[in-house]
Homo-oligomer: A and B are copies of this chain.
Amino acid sequence: MADIMKFNERGSKTVIENGTVFSPKFDHDGLIPAIATDAVSGEVLMVAYMNDEALSLTLQTGEAHYWSRSRGKIWKKGETSGHTQVVTQILTDCDQDAIWLKVNMSGQGACHVGYKSCFYRSVELSEPGASEPRLVFSETRKVFQPKDVYD
C-alpha cells in the first residue's frame, strides 16, 4: 500500500503546475511538509511532515498519518492521545512540495502541550523598529491537560 506516489515521476514544470498527475516532491530526507487546518474554523492546527508511507496511509484510511522526525517512525495522529484527525480534503500546491489537510478532530486539541492549535503564541516586536521580538500568548486556555492524556 505504501509507495503509491512513486508510480508518478515528476514531469515538466508545466505538467507539475497545471496537470492532474499527483507527483509530490519529497525533500532530501524523503519528507514533505503537511499543514493541518480545522475543516470548520479554518484555523491552522499544526505543521508536521509526511514521508511517502504516511501520505499513502492518510489517503487510504482518511485519517492523518505523519512521520515523526523525533521518534523516527510513522505516527498516526491521536494514537496515544485519542485526538485523531479525520481528513475531509487533501490539497497540494503549485509545485507539489507541500500538503494541506482539512481535518475534523475527534478530540479537543491538536497540540501535545494542551492547546487546540500548536500556534498559541504570536511573535511581536516590543515597539515599532525594535529588534527584540517576544512571544505573546494568543491562546491562554488549554483544552486538555497533557498529563491526563500522555501519562
* Interface presence of A113 (CB below 8 A): yes
Within 8 Å by CB of A133, from B4, B18, B129, lies: B4
Question: Given the complex, which residues of B lie within 8 Å of A46, measured CB to CB?
Answer: 93
A interface: dominant SS? mixed
Q: Is the CB of B134 within 8 A of A20?
A: yes
Nearest B-chain residue to A139, judged by Cβ: B91
Q: How far is the CA of A41 from the CA of B43 in the complex (A)?
A: 10
Question: Given the complex, which residues of B lie within 8 Å of A98, measured CB to CB?
Answer: 47, 118
Q: Is the CB of A123 within 8 A of B92?
A: yes
* Interface presence of A119 (CB below 8 A): yes
Choose among A97, A98, A136, A138 the residue with the greatest number of B CB atoms under 10 Å from its CB.
A98
* Interface presence of A17 (CB below 8 A): yes
